């Protein structure tokens, strides 16, 4: 993907019928392309109205705005142009065809603009991840967290830690080069003890934020569990306000888990519908229908375990707790559905997927649980948002712990070097080639 000599272009907005579409061009030929299309290079960073023409025929393709960002003060660090045109499929298709025909220009690959920004040092790796998260954000809390990371907050924290570690390393290196006759073994590490303790506390704090940050990115997961026909799928559809899951009076209709993403008061909640749980007699082995149901139940058990919250949905007309899900009954949120047919039992929240009664209370309860799990203690979103960050921080902590146990200055220096490298991985300084391709593939074209 490191073909940086070419000039790339792509629509930066989703294709379809829209008021405005943005086409982005980046690379050494961006200026020539703008000159050919618009007959001029507009003033830098000023919106300029221009006719956009096919240079081959002179035909006017659209009347739009052109923005010119000469490198290095641009998103990618290269010469960049943005064409704001009418968001018609025909206009965009014509302009893309004209651009493709120009020498040295080609359509960008997914994430290629962001990749160039990263290669030019405009964004560190954590910021690139944040950009992907921001584009994917479905709720305000997710957008807030991504924006903080895009602003470089994680990178700044990492650089602060790295600078402290490099200072310690310099001390260790000095000890190797100019050993003092009077040194006692372990004296070096003893002198560093306060610095090690401070670093460890800071790392523990960051790692402590990880669970919340990762959960906010992925959504607070709620699994709907219960016997077949209790109305789990109906409830999910009702909460999603669309027909996501198949509803049927035939028991065992839902085999695969269906999930919908809800925004409950700004908090992302992923609601998972599951196959109904019921105790199956092992004597039924060999019945293919039951084998499928058995597999569905096995998957449900796994999902139930992994979810942040389990909601046990029972039929209010027959709220029996079967062996198959009795294990969840104690800690799950118990909901009695079909209260249009029978009143809810004691200790259960009564709802009706058919009439909608009780659903507002259920939504409020789910939002409260999500808020409790995701909300910030200090008023700021989590700095650590991905398993990748958390694992690197754990490696840093382990390397520092090892450094503290050394007596020889050489070994202290070596452990400190490993700690600094692990930090470097978070922002993409070291050992990230394998991560890069995966990450940029997360983007769609034009980003
Ligand atoms: N009267 C009534 N029927 C419901 C309600 N919720 C679901 N049902 C019906 O119960 C049957 C099973 O619903 P479904 O959502 O497929 O249950 P699941 O197996 O738990 O997913 C369907 O015939 C639904 O129409 C409800 O609140 N009231
Ligand atoms: Mg179902």
Same domain, 242 and 114: no
CA-nearest residue for atom 2, ligand 1, is 338
Per the domain annotation, does 401 fall within a domain? Answer: yes
Q: Which tens digits make up the pLDDT trace of 188-211? A: 778 899 999 999 999 999 999 998
Collapsed DSSP state (helix, strand, coil) of residue 155:
helix
d(CA 270, CA 83): 37
The residues pairing with 22 across neighbouring beta strands, listed in sequence order, are 84
> In 10 A of CB 103, how many CB atoms?
8
CA of 253 to the centre of ligand 1 (A): 11
Work out the end-to-end distance of the chain between its first and last CA atoms, rounded to an integer number of angstroms: 15
> In 10 A of CB 249, how many CB atoms?
7
Per the domain annotation, does 199 fall within a domain? Answer: yes
Per the domain annotation, does 84 fall within a domain? Answer: yes
d(CA 318, CA 445): 52
225: nearest Cα among 290, 304, 125: 304
Stated length of the chain: 447
Q: What is the model's pLDDT at position 283?
A: 59
Phi, psi of 359 (to 5 degrees): -70, -35
Same domain, 148 and 56: no
Same domain, 364 and 233: yes
Is 402 within 8 Å of 415 (Cβ atoms)? yes
CA of 235 to the centre of ligand 1 (A): 8
Per the domain annotation, does 413 fall within a domain? Answer: yes
End position of a domain, from candidates 97, 122, 147? 122
Same domain, 331 and 232: yes
Same domain, 317 and 413: no
Per the domain annotation, does 411 fall within a domain? Answer: yes
Pairing of strands 267-273, 309-315: unpaired
Q: Which ligand is nearest to the CA of 249?
A: 1
Same domain, 281 and 161: no
Is 98 within 8 Å of 55 (Cβ atoms)? yes
Per the domain annotation, does 446 fall within a domain? Answer: no
Residue 232 CB–ligand 1 contact under 6 Å: yes
| Domain count along the chain | 3
The residues pairing with 53 across neighbouring beta strands, listed in sequence order, are 60
Q: What is the model's pLDDT at position 301?
A: 84
Q: What is the model's pLDDT at position 183?
A: 63
CA of 337 to the centre of ligand 1 (A): 8
Residue 276 CB–ligand 1 contact under 6 Å: yes
Q: Which tens digits make up the pLDDT trace of 278-295? A: 777 665 667 777 888 888
In sequence order, the 6+-apart residues with CB closer than 8 A to the CB of 205 are none
End position of a domain, from candidates 374, 390, 413? 374
Per the domain annotation, does 1 fall within a domain? Answer: no
Same domain, 367 and 255: yes
Residue 270 CB–ligand 1 contact under 6 Å: no
Same domain, 141 and 251: no
Same domain, 86 and 32: yes
CA-nearest residue for atom 11, ligand 1, is 249
End position of a domain, from candidates 122, 149, 183? 122
In sequence order, the 6+-apart residues with CB closer than 8 A to the CB of 230 are 276, 313, 314, 315, 337, 338
Q: Which CATH number fits the domain that encloses residue 165?
A: 1.20.120.430
d(CA 45, CA 244): 45
Radius of gyration of the chain (CA): 29
Q: Which CATH number fits the domain that encloses residue 14?
A: 3.30.1360.120
Q: Which CATH number fits the domain that encloses residue 307?
A: 3.40.50.300
Task: Kindly give the parts of the chain with pLDDT less than 70.
Answer: 1-4, 180-186, 244-246, 248-256, 281-285, 430-435
Q: Which ligand is nearest to the CA of 239?
A: 1
Q: What is the model's pLDDT at position 249?
A: 66
Q: What is the model's pLDDT at position 347?
A: 85
Is 243 within 8 Å of 254 (Cβ atoms)? no
Residue 359 CB–ligand 1 contact under 6 Å: no
Same domain, 243 and 363: yes
Residue showing tokens 């375990």: 305
DSSP assignment of 62-85 equals EEEEEEEE-TTSSSSSS-EEEEEE
Q: What is the model's pLDDT at position 253?
A: 62
| 410 to 175, 184, 241, 390: CA distances (angstroms) | 9, 15, 63, 28
Residue 254 CB–ligand 1 contact under 6 Å: yes
d(CA 283, CA 357): 41
Q: What is the model's pLDDT at position 121?
A: 93
Q: Which domain holds residue 296?
A: 220-374
Same domain, 212 and 237: no
Per the domain annotation, does 447 fall within a domain? Answer: no
d(CA 94, CA 21): 13
CA of 70 to the centre of ligand 1 (A): 61
Collapsed DSSP state (helix, strand, coil) of residue 261:
strand
Q: What is the model's pLDDT at position 1?
A: 46
């Amino acid at each position: 993907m490191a073909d940086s000599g070419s000039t790339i272009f792509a629509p930066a907005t989703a294709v379809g019928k829209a008021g405005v579409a943005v086409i982005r061009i980046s690379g050494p030929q961006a200026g020539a392309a703008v000159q050919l299309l618009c007959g001029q290079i507009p003033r830098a960073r000023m919106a300029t109205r221009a006719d956009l023409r096919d240079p081959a025929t002179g035909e006017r393709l659209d009347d739009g705005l052109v923005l010119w960002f000469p490198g290095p003060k641009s998103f990618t660090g290269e010469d960049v142009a943005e064409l704001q045109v009418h968001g018609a499929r025909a206009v965009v298709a014509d302009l893309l065809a004209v651009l493709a025909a120009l020498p040295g220009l080609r359509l960008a690959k997914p994430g290629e603009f962001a990749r160039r920004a990263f290669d030019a040092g405009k964004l560190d790796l954590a910021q690139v991840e944040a950009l992907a998260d921001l584009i994917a954000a479905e709720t305000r809390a997710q957008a807030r967290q991504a924006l903080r990371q895009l602003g470089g907050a994680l990178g700044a924290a990492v650089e602060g830690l790295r600078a402290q570690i490099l200072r310690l390393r310099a001390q260790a290196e000095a000890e190797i080069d100019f050993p003092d006759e009077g040194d006692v073994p372990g004296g070096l590490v003893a002198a560093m003890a306060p610095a090690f303790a401070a670093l460890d506390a800071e790392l523990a704090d960051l790692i402590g934020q990880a669970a919340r940050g990762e959960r906010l990115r992925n959504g607070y997961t709620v699994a709907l569990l219960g016997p077949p026909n209790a109305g789990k799928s109906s409830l999910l559809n009702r909460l999603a306000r669309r027909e996501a899951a198949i509803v049927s009076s035939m028991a065992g209709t839902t085999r695969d888990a269906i999930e919908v993403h809800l925004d409950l008061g700004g908090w992302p909640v992923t609601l998972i519908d599951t196959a109904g749980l019921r105790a199956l007699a092992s004597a039924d082995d060999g019945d293919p229908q039951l084998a499928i149901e058995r597999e569905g139940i096995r998957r449900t058990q796994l999902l139930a375990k992994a979810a942040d919250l389990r909601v046990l949905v029972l039929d209010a007309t027959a709220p029996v707790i079967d062996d198959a899900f009795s294990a969840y009954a104690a800690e799950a949120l118990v909901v009695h559905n079909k209260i249009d047919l029978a009143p809810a039992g004691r200790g259960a929240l009564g709802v009706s997927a058919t009439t909608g009664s009780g659903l507002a209370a259920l939504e409020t309860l789910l939002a409260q649980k999500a808020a409790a799990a995701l909300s910030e203690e200090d008023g700021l979103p989590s700095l650590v948002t991905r398993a990748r960050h958390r694992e690197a921080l754990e490696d840093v902590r382990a390397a520092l712990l090892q450094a503290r146990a050394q007596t020889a200055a050489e070994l202290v220096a070596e452990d400190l070097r490993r700690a600094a490298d692990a930090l470097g991985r978070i922002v993409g300084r070291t050992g990230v080639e394998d991560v890069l391709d995966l990450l940029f593939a997360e983007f769609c074209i034009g980003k």
